[in-house]
């Protein structure tokens, strides 16, 4: 049975097999190497599912070389990664990780910076100031305010 997800009012599908795909798209070409597929192409994932490439782009992590990626309803995948292109419809299809940024911030590991933030708050420092001191590379007051609020709401 086809998996589906509605994005901006348009329903997108992922098919479990080529036979299922062919019943809905009998004449549509199928790209067997998903890393070579372009936006709008249907391609074969490593687990046998057939998905449509919704977006291709690239990102630079920490000002390093740009890394190309592709996005489908089963998630985002780096074209340089050796990880398999598999899965089912994700809640977070705009991230490489399975967890959302909110979950990582509120349920993630307690880093040294987070421990320091907690200490500064316990000593009476204002949240934004405590965040900037614990995370010294933070330049934006707005960002520090959002993140400090998020950390303070952690249960």
Each residue of 82-107: pLDDT tens digit? 777 776 666 565 555 555 566 666 66
Do 31 and 78 lie in one domain? The reply is yes
Q: Please say which residue of 54, 77, 98 terminates a domain.
A: 98
Do 88 and 110 lie in one domain? The reply is no
Q: pLDDT averaged over the chain?
A: 82
Each residue of 18-70: pLDDT tens digit? 889 999 999 999 988 888 889 999 998 888 888 899 889 887 766 677 888 88
Do 58 and 111 lie in one domain? The reply is no
Do 94 and 108 lie in one domain? The reply is no
How many domains are contained in the chain? 2
Q: What is the structure's pLDDT at 115?
A: 87
CB 72 within 8 Å of CB 119: no
Axis-axis angle for helices 127-134, 141-152 (nearest 10) = 100
Mean pLDDT of 128-144: 92
Q: What is the structure's pLDDT at 104?
A: 61
């Amino acid at each position: 049975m086809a998996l589906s997800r509605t994005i901006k009012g348009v329903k997108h599908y992922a098919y479990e097999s080529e036979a299922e795909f062919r019943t809905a798209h009998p004449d549509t070409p199928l790209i067997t190497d998903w890393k070579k597929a372009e936006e709008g192409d249907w391609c074969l994932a490593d687990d046998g599912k057939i998905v449509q490439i919704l977006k291709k782009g690239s990102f630079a992590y920490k000002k390093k070389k740009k890394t190309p990626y592709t996005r489908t309803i089963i998630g985002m995948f780096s074209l340089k990664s050796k990880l398999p292109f598999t899965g089912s419809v994700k809640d977070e299809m705009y991230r490489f990780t399975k967890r959302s940024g909110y979950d990582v911030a509120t349920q993630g590991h307690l880093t040294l910076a987070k421990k320091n933030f907690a200490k500064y708050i316990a000593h009476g420092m204002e949240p934004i100031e405590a965040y900037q001191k614990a995370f010294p590379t933070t330049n934006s007051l707005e960002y520090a305010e959002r993140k400090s609020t998020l950390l303070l709401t952690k249960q």
